[in-house]
Structure 1
Amino acid sequence: MSESGHGWLSPPEVEMRETIAWLLALPEDERLRMAEAATCSFTLESPAPQQEPPASAAGAERTEPSRSPLQPPPRRLVATICMGSVEAALLLCQQGLRPAVLNFAHGYNCGGGFEHSGGSQEEDIFRKTSLFLSLWPRRRADDGPGVLARGMWIGDFDKALPRAESFYPHSACGGIYSKHVRLVRQVGRPGHPLCPAGQVKECPCFSVITVAAQDVGRDGTFVPALLRDKVRTLLHVAAAHGDRALVLGAFGCGYFRNPPEDVAEAFSDLLHSEFAGCFDVVLFAVPDRVGPKLDAFNRRFPVRTPETLLSILPPHNAPQKSTGSQTCAGRMRNLKRRHVVSMPLVLLLLVVLVVLIV
């Protein structure tokens, strides 16, 4: 517990307050990039557009992009990993990728209870990354200190972080895209300390797609068609922004009580039909070690250990061992060497031939 001008703060409150203060002290150019956000307002009546499935998904012969016979096909990986979304994003960033991370959002309260609670995936992302700068200014007009259990201390930052256009509450199938989010805490160290402020540009960078699952506990009824449209929204947003690596997960399977089997099946169906081939790497971050959520995703996307993933997925920014252009360049160098070696031999043969003729 920690004391402030508003009384005692819980550990999650202290951690979030430290994160906000750290973010607001950053150089303005970096803060402005972190604050960028775009919204989409899809509904049940007007959902995200259906993608044209590739020929292979429709049962026809698939036409691959032209490439050299010596060039290996692109690697694609879809798997489940037993860790949190932030940790999975860091794993991909360390491999040179820039993933898009799905934020299991609260569609009415921006960030859920991020300023006082610490249990949800969204709240974890808020505490460990810069997502606060992108979303909190776009909260509901009536959201703020003291509203629905919000801590009064959050109002201390209102002057430094003025409101922007409100993106809350979300439409039924809507979402928000934050393209420049940084991991600001050292998740591998005890207590997850903040990164040195002077090294912010070295902090891992990724995008975040904020979409709210159905609140089945509140609504009382699970609607499979609504789930499918919400999943299509987040995949459409990722594909539209050119993201090739995704960190997804057991979307809405916690507090919102979405059935894990249905959620895993919706992802599997759309990834293997409409969005087949759109993404190179898809990780389902499920921090459970056992249980129905892990079982549902493992059946469709086998669990991999971090070590196995790293062996399958080479660093993205490392040179490929054998690409078409490199192979062609190597062949040209070998050809030049053969020509250099053979020229003296040709001259010698000509001299011998002249001597014999004379």
Structure 2
Amino acid sequence: MVSAENHDKSTNTSGATLSDPTVNLIDRKVCISIAKSSLQHIEEGNYEADGVVYDIKGAVSATNNSTRYYPPDSELSQWALVEGGQVQLNQRAGISSSNERIGVLNFASAKSPGGGFLGGSRAQEESIARSSTLYPSLKTTTAEPFYALHKAHSKHGLYSHAMVYSPGVLFMRADTGDWLPPLIVDVVTAPAVNAGSYRNHLRKQNIHEDTEIDTTMRERMARVLYLFELQGVRNVVLGSFGTGAFKNRIELVAGVWKELLMSEGARFQSSFDRVVFAVVDSPTYQQFESIFVAPAPHSD
């Protein structure tokens, strides 16, 4: 039996890179079955992939014990006052494997750990929850205030800048349910603004300006990057944060990532070695690509 903590970490990550779009909507019943079997193996503390049995009990326990909650008024609010890292981001660098730490942004439900993954939902968080050991971390007493806060104060869909950090999560399954050797990843759980809900609120108030959405999303996305930076994560997987059911504008999200990571003088331009944007549908991919290849704005 192989201990998951000692398994080599590798993934396809590179400079500010877009992943190739693929659409693979698995049947809801299959997703439910995958989720249930993943939780069963997490409970048992092991699983088999390619003829090797992996012991994951220690890794799951370590993640749960190291889970950290960052309230809205945490030190993450100071992101703009700190100088970034020293390694230059290379937008055109080739894809390569890495033994360094990897971070993934979980596009979180603000009120339910794992979103609807137990019911077969197929959004980004649900895919992560059924394919990894993240869910037990989100069910810890440490993470509980994150969900309690948003249940009590949804702010009409703006939610808060609270986040949960789950280090050492094991990604152990493909979306199809195939078992894979464990990949060790740190996960930031944060909710995007529910732009659709907030716009409905504004319409009821006869307010037609929704600039609060843009301002809130920029601050939240910057805090995500700052948290990865604080934790020493040099390789990150991001994406089209909140542009699905939450109805944020794709051009806003892509533009904010570009502003924070790639524009001249960007705060996080030198903070990461590799950044991948996992975008799974072609229209979204094309919009991201058009924004990323456009000339970055220059300061006067």
Q: 2:281 aligns with which of 281, 288, 292?
A: 288
* Structure-1 residue corresponding to 2:20: none
* Structure-1 residue corresponding to 2:243: 253
Give the superposed CA RMSD: 3.1
Partner SS state of residue 183, structure 1: strand
Give CA-to-partner distance per residue, 1:249-306, whole Å, 9 cap, x none: 00000000000111111111122421120111111110112x1x2233212435xxxx
CA shift in 2, pair 1:47/1:203, >3 Å: closer
Q: How many residues align?
A: 233
CA contact (8 A) 2:69 2:163 kept: yes
The separation in 1 between residues aligned to 2:105 and 2:143, in whole angstroms, is 22
Partner SS state of residue 111, structure 1: coil
Q: 1:40 aligns with which of 49, 54, 70?
A: 70
Deviation, 1:39, is: 1.3
* Structure-1 residue corresponding to 2:165: 177
CA contact (8 A) 1:185 1:194 kept: yes
- Runs of 5+ in structure 2 lacking a partner? 1-27, 46-55, 151-158, 203-209, 294-300
Give CA-to-partner distance per residue, 1:86-131, whole Å, 9 cap, x none: xxxxx86x43343100111111122211110232100000011111
**Equivalences for residues 80-159 of structure 1 within 5 A:** 94-138=97-141
Partner SS state of residue 168, structure 2: strand
**Moved >6 Å (runs of 4+):** none
**TM norm structure 1:** 0.58
Deviation, 1:78, is: 3.8
CA shift in 2, pair 1:97/1:172, >3 Å: same
CA contact (8 A) 2:68 2:143 kept: no
Partner SS state of residue 139, structure 2: helix
* Structure-2 residue corresponding to 1:16: 35
* Structure-2 residue corresponding to 1:218: 197
CA contact (8 A) 2:251 2:291 kept: no
CA contact (8 A) 2:31 2:122 kept: no
Deviation, 1:46, is: 8.7
The separation in 2 between residues aligned to 1:32 and 1:137, in whole angstroms, is 11
**TM norm structure 2:** 0.69
Deviation, 1:219, is: 1.6
CA contact (8 A) 1:48 1:236 kept: no
Partner SS state of residue 214, structure 1: coil
CA contact (8 A) 1:42 1:174 kept: yes
CA shift in 2, pair 1:106/1:252, >3 Å: same
* Structure-1 residue corresponding to 2:254: 264
- Please identify the structure whose Cα radius of gyration is greater: 1
1:244 counterpart letter in structure 2:
R
CA shift in 2, pair 1:80/1:284, >3 Å: farther
Partner SS state of residue 259, structure 2: helix
Partner SS state of residue 49, structure 1: helix
Provide the identity percentage: 25
- Runs of 5+ in structure 1 lacking a partner? 1-8, 56-63, 66-73, 82-90, 139-162, 196-201, 303-358
Q: 1:77 aligns with which of 86, 90, 93?
A: 90
Give CA-to-partner distance per residue, 1:161-207, whole Å, 9 cap, x none: xx9754314561111111111111145xxx32234xxxxxx511111
The separation in 2 between residues aligned to 1:181 and 1:46, in whole angstroms, is 23
